Amino acid sequence: MSTKEPPCGLDAALAVMGGKWKPLILYHLNSGPKRFGDLKRLVMGVSEKVLIQQLRELAAAGVLTRHDYQRVPPMVDYTMTAFGTTLARALMPLCEWGTEHRNKIAEIMRSPERVESASHSVNLGRSTTS
Amino acid sequence: MSTKEPPCGLDAALAVMGGKWKPLILYHLNSGPKRFGDLKRLVMGVSEKVLIQQLRELAAAGVLTRHDYQRVPPMVDYTMTAFGTTLARALMPLCEWGTEHRNKIAEIMRSPERVESASHSVNLGRSTTS
DNA sequence: CTCGATACTTACCTTAAGGTCAGTACTACC
DNA sequence: GGTAGTACTGACCTTAAGGTAAGTATCGAG
């Protein structure tokens, strides 16, 4: 019984969209195909190397397609697949939640709520913060 | 203009819920208060140390409260805050998406889609896979 | 000529995140 | 005595993830 499929598919979803920049990449691509340079500007703070890497992973996961126009200088665009679109749609409530609560979250990050019996500051770390 | 608040709150949301086990912790706590041991069994694969750590972080972020009954042996339970409940609700579409697509995702992870001009396997890494 | 644009690749580096293991303190049961 | 339960703490370790910097090749503009 302990090896049964879990009731919640969050682990599976996170296996696809997990990565520091992937959620934002998905958000931006959901509004239409984008060139590499567009994404670089829209996903503020991402390095070229990591952007390329995570785009490739998303492509490998069938979430987006990379279309190379075989030009010099290079010209490449990235488009959501139908599968990817369903994921982006499932991410929208989280996006909205974050937008609505952005001020509260910023405040909490500045001054985390005192945790009973411990009051060290929170490190939310590498993988998800910007 | 480039320092304006982003249109999408995913970064803020991820600042709160980012962490390998936090989404699943949130999912399980959404169905009612839980003892530490309950969570350890429900969130399969998590180590005690990391579970404690991420519970503390979620408490510091105001998502849940920790109630210590001051007993020996220790008796502690964790309850979602109203704020946390809004987040868990925002996560449900993603949970459902993952559940629906679990088979497809498992297949992709076994055999990632060929990426144009590269065909290396996908490593979805530490922070979000189980 | 230089610089800017395009979208990458590669070498190398740092460190945050998650983990194992040992320990804590008490009770109850065998 | 031992084991099991409760929920932690701290020391120590590994490595995945994200990053910087340098480089690639071509075109067009000044």
Taking the C1' atom of every nucleotide in all shown strands and the CA of A75, the nearest one is: C6
Strand B34-35 to B76-80 pairing: antiparallel
Least CA distance to B24: which residue of chain A? A10
- Strand D contact at CB of residue A79, distance < 7 A: no
Tally the C-alpha atoms within 13 A of residue B62's C-alpha that lie toward its C-beta.
17
Q: Which of A57-66, A81-90, A92-101, B102-111 has the lowest mean pLDDT?
A: B102-111
Bond prior to B73 in cis (omega within 30° of 0) = yes
Q: What is the CATH number of the domain that holds A40?
A: 1.10.10.10
Question: Between A59, A91, A104, which is nearest B115 by CB?
Answer: A59
Does residue B53 form part of some domain?
yes
CA dihedral B66, B67, B69, B75 (to 10 degrees): -40
The residue that minimises its CA distance to C1' of C10 is A49
Helix H or strand E segment including B72: none
Does residue B118 form part of some domain?
no
Range of the domain at B68: 12-107
ipTM of the complex: 0.85
Q: Are B24 and A111 in contact (CB under 8 A)?
A: no
Which of A125, A75, A57 lies closest to B124 in space, CA to CA? Answer: A57
A36 interface with B at CB cutoff 8 Å? no
Does residue B78 form part of some domain?
yes
Least CA distance to B121: which residue of chain A? A60
State residue B71's pLDDT score: 87
CB atoms inside a 10 Å sphere around CB B27: 22
Question: Between A2, A8, A128, which is nearest B95 by CB?
Answer: A8
CA–CA separation, A98 vs A84, rounded Å? Answer: 21
Partners of A22 on chain B (C-beta within 8 Å) are none
Does residue B128 form part of some domain?
no
State residue A115's pLDDT score: 59
Q: Are A84 and A22 in contact (CB under 8 A)?
A: no
Beta strands in chain B (DSSP E): 34-35, 64-68, 76-80
Number of domains comprising chain B: 1
Residues A62, A5, B78, CA angle at the centre, nearest 5°? 105
Does residue B38 form part of some domain?
yes
Q: Are A30 and A80 in contact (CB under 8 A)?
A: yes
Question: What's the mean pLDDT when you consider all of chain B?
Answer: 85
Does residue B29 form part of some domain?
yes
Taking the CA of residue A10 and the C1' sugar atom of nucleotide D21, their distance in angstroms comes to: 37
Taking the CA of residue B74 and the C1' sugar atom of nucleotide D25, their distance in angstroms comes to: 66
**In chain A, which residues from 91 to 130 place their CB closer than 7 Å to nucleic acid strand D?**
117-118, 126-127
Does residue B21 form part of some domain?
yes
CA–CA separation, B78 vs A19, rounded Å? Answer: 28
Q: At what angle do helices A10-17 and B82-100 cross, to 10 degrees?
A: 80
Does residue A23 form part of some domain?
no
Strand A76-80 to A64-68 pairing: antiparallel
State residue A38's pLDDT score: 95
The proportion of chain A whose per-residue pLDDT surpasses 70, expressed as a percent, equals: 83
Q: List pLDDT tens digits, range A87-129.
A: 999 999 999 999 999 999 999 888 777 654 333 333 333 444 3
CA A87 centroid distance within chain: 11
